C-alpha cells in the first residue's frame, strides 16, 4: 500500500511545480533542473574560489587580513566575488537537498536507479567538508569555533595518533603549516567531489548538467544582487587566547554544530553517520511492486539500426557486433540490471508497425509484460463499441493522471508503462482504421517523468522532430498532446472535453469503403 504522507507530499510538490510552470514556463522551471543547477553552482564556486586563492595569504597572522582587504578595499569586485563564492555554495547545498527530497518523493531512487542514489550520499559529505574548510580559511571567530569544534569532534573517534585539538590551544600552537595544509584540503576535496559527481551520473543516459539559459541568467542575477545587497562579512579575527563571542553561523553548512555543543560528539556522530547509512540503504528498503521483466531483443527482427540505444534513458541498450548470417553488422543487447521496462526502446524500433501484414506484431525489441502485439490488441478492444460524436482514444502514462474516470460511451482509455513507449504509428493506425475520431495522448509533465525522457521523446516524435516520426499524412487536428500530473485530473478532463468539442467541428474524413474497424481481442 502507498504511504499517505508521502502521497500528500508528492501532490504538494506537483502543485508547487505547477505554480513554477505558470510563473516562469515549463522550460525554465527550476524544480525540473535541481541536479543541473547544483552543477552550475559548483562551477561558480570553483571559478570564484580560484580568484580568491590569488590574494589569499596562507599564514596564521595574515589570513584574516588578506580576506578582509578584498572584502572592504575591493568591495566592488573582490568583495562581490567572495559573496558569490559564499552564496553559490549555499545555493548548491539547497538545490542538492531539494534534489534528494524530490527524487525520493517521485520514487526515482530504487530498483535499477540505486546506483545514482547510493553514489549521491558521499557527495553530501564532500560538499559539507568543502564548505566547512572554506570557512576555516577566513580565520575569524566563526572559523575558530568551527576549527575547535571539528577537532574535538574528530578526536572523539580516537583514530589519530595525536590530538588534533591541541593545535588550537593557544596562538603559539597554531602554525602557518596548518593553513597550507588547510588550503590543500579545501582544493582537493572539491576535485574529488567533481569526480564523484561524474560517477553519480555515470549510469544515466543523456544526463542534464547544463540548466536552461533563462534559468542560468536568473540565478546569476539573483546571486549578484544578493552579493551586492548583503555582502559576505567576516567576524572579528580569531584569537585562541579567548573564547568566541556571538556568532552568525551559516546554517546551510553548520546545522550539526549546535547539536554537538548541546549533546556531545557521540550524538552528533550517531546522527551524521546514522542518517548517511539510512540514506544509503533506502533503495533496498523501499516498498515497491514486483520488478517487471526487462526488454528483450528478437534477433530475427533486429536490423541493428541503433535508434533504441539513443532513446533509452538509462543506457540499458547497447549495440554489439553481430555473429550470425543476417547481413547486419550489429545487434541490440539489453543489460537487464539497467533496464526499467519503460518501453521507449520498443517505440523507437522501426519494426514497431501495426500495419505490417502479420498475425502477430513482432518487433526488434519488446517488453515481455506489455508487448507491442498486446498493445495493438488492447487498443482495438478499448475502441470497440465506442459510439456517438467525437470518439476519442486516450493513451497515457500510469504514473500521470488517472485515466479510468475518463472512460465513457465515446471514450476509451489505455494506461501505458510510460507515454514514451507509444509508437506514433499506433496513432496513425487508430485514425486510419476508424477506431476513433481522435487520439488524446497524455503524459507526465517534462521533469516529472518516472522514466525521465518519456514526455520529451513523445513530443518530439509527434512533432516530426525525432524518429520514429508521426506520418505527415496524419491529420494533426485529430491528435492532441496534454501534460497532466497526478494532481491534474480535472484539468485533463477539461482538456478532453475541449478536444471532443473541436473534433465535432471538423468535417468527417473521407475513408475508402474497404476500411473496416477491426477488433483484435
Q: State the SS3 of 102-139.
A: HHHHCCCCCHHHHHHHHHHHHHHHHHHHHHHHHHHHHC
By DSSP bridging, strand 392-397 and strand 438-443 are parallel
- In degrees, rounded to 5, the angle at the alpha carbon of residue 74 between the alpha carbons of residues 69 and 78 is 90
Q: Is the pLDDT of residue 514 over 60?
A: no
Given this model, what pLDDT does residue 196 score? 98
Q: List the grid coordinates of 123.
A: 557527495
Residue 393 pLDDT level (bands cut at 50, 70, 90)? very high
C-alpha cell at position 470: 508521426
379, 519 Cβ separation under 8 angstroms: no
Q: What is the mean pLDDT of residues 62-68?
A: 95
Under the banding of pLDDT at 50, 70 and 90, the label for residue 291 is confident
Mean pLDDT of the chain: 93
pLDDT confidence band for 325 (50 / 70 / 90): confident
Question: What pLDDT score was predicted for residue 288?
Answer: 60
Q: What is the mean pLDDT of residues 365-387?
A: 95
Taking residues 5-29, what's their average pLDDT? 94
Write down the pLDDT at residue 460.
96
Contact present, 16 and 447 (Cβ < 8 Å): no
Say what the pLDDT of residue 172 is: 85
Q: Dihedral of CA 416/417/418/424: which sign? A: negative
| Domains of the chain, first to last | 4-285 (1.20.810.10), 296-504 (no CATH)
Taken as a whole, the chain contains a residue count of: 521
Q: Which of 56, 85, 29 is nearest to 226 (CA)?
A: 85
pLDDT at 289: 60
Nearest to 451 by CA among 481, 480, 416, 427: 416
- Tell me the whole-structure pTM to 2 decimals: 0.93
Pairing of strands 392-397, 479-483: unpaired
Spatial contact of 457 and 373, defined as CB atoms under 8 Å apart? no
Question: Dihedral, CA atoms, 234, 236, 237, 239, nearest 10 degrees?
Answer: -140
pLDDT digits (tens, 9 = 90+) for 37-46: 999 999 999 9
- Work out the pLDDT band at 513, boundaries 50, 70, 90: low
What is the tens place of the pLDDT at every residue in 420-479? Answer: 999 999 999 999 999 999 999 999 998 899 999 999 999 999 999 999 999 999 999 999
Amino acid at each position: 500500500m502507498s504511504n499517505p504522507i508521502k502521497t500528500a507530499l508528492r501532490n504538494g510538490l506537483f502543485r508547487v511545480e505547477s505554480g513554477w510552470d505558470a510563473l516562469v514556463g515549463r522550460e525554465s522551471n527550476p524544480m525540473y533542473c535541481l541536479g543541473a543547477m547544483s552543477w552550475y553552482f559548483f562551477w561558480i564556486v570553483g571559478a570564484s574560489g580560484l580568484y580568491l586563492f590569488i590574494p589569499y595569504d596562507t599564514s596564521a597572522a595574515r589570513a584574516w587580513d588578506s580576506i578582509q582587504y578584498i572584502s572592504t578595499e575591493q568591495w566592488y569586485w573582490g568583495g562581490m566575488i567572495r559573496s558569490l563564492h559564499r552564496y553559490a555554495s549555499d545555493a548548491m547545498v539547497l538545490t542538492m537537498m531539494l534534489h534528494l527530497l524530490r527524487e525520493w518523493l517521485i520514487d526515482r531512487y530504487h530498483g535499477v536507479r540505486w546506483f545514482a542514489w547510493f553514489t549521491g550520499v558521499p557527495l553530501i559529505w564532500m560538499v559539507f567538508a568543502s564548505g566547512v574548510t572554506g570557512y576555516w580559511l577566513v580565520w575569524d571567530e566563526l572559523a575558530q569555533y568551527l576549527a575547535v569544534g571539528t577537532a574535538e569532534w574528530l578526536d572523539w573517534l580516537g583514530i589519530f595518533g595525536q590530538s588534533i585539538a591541541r593545535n588550537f590551544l593557544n596562538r603559539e600552537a597554531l602554525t602557518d603549516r596548518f593553513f597550507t595544509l588547510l588550503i590543500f584540503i579545501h582544493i582537493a576535496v572539491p576535485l574529488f567531489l567533481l569526480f564523484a559527481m561524474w560517477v553519480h551520473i555515470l549510469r544515466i543516459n543523456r544526463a542534464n548538467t547544463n540548466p536552461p539559459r533563462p534559468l542560468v541568467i536568473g540565478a546569476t542575477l539573483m546571486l549578484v544582487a544578493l552579493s551586492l545587497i548583503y555582502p559576505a562579512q567576516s567576524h572579528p579575527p580569531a584569537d585562541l587566547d579567548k573564547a568566541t563571542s556571538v556568532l552568525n553561523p551559516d546554517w546551510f553548512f553548520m546545522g550539526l554544530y549546535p547539536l554537538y555543543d548541546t549533546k556531545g560528539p557521540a550524538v552528533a556522530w550517531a546522527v551524521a553517520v546514522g542518517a548517511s547509512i539510512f540514506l544509503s540503504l533506502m533503495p533496498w528498503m523501499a516498498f515497491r511492486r514486483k520488478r517487471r521483466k526487462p526488454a528483450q531483443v528478437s534477433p530475427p527482427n533486429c536490423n541493428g539500426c541503433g535508434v533504441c540505444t539513443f532513446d533509452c534513458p538509462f543506457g540499458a541498450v547497447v549495440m554489439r557486433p553481430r555473429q550470425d548470417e543476417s547481413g547486419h553488422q550489429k545487434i541490440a543487447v539489453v543489460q537487464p540490471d539497467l533496464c526499467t521496462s519503460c518501453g521507449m526502446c520498443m517505440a523507437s524500433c522501426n519494426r514497431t508497425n501495426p500495419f505490417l501484414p502479420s498475425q502477430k506484431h513482432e518487433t526488434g525489441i519488446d517488453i515481455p509484460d506489455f508487448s507491442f502485439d498486446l498493445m495493438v490488441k488492447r487498443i482495438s478492444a478499448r475502441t470497440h463499441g465506442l459510439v456517438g460524436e467525437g470518439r476519442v482514444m486516450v493513451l497515457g502514462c500510469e504514473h500521470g493522471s488517472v485515466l479510468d474516470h475518463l472512460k465513457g460511451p465515446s471514450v476509451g482509455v489505455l494506461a501505458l508503462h510510460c507515454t514514451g513507449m507509444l509508437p506514433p504509428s499506433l496513432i496513425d493506425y487508430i485514425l486510419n482504421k476508424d477506431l476513433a475520431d481522435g487520439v488524446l495522448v497524455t503524459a507526465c509533465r517534462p521533469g516529472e517523468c518516472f522514466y525521465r525522457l518519456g514526455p520529451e521523446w513523445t513530443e518530439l516524435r509527434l512533432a516530426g522532430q525525432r524518429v520514429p516520426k508521426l506520418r505527415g499524412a496524419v491529420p494533426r487536428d485529430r491528435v492532441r498532446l496534454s501534460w497532466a500530473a497526478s494532481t491534474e485530473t480535472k484539468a485533463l478532463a477539461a482538456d478532453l472535453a475541449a478536444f471532443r468539442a473541436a473534433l465535432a467541428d471538423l468535417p468527417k474524413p473521407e475513408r475508402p469503403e474497404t476500411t473496416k474497424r477491426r477488433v483484435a481481442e
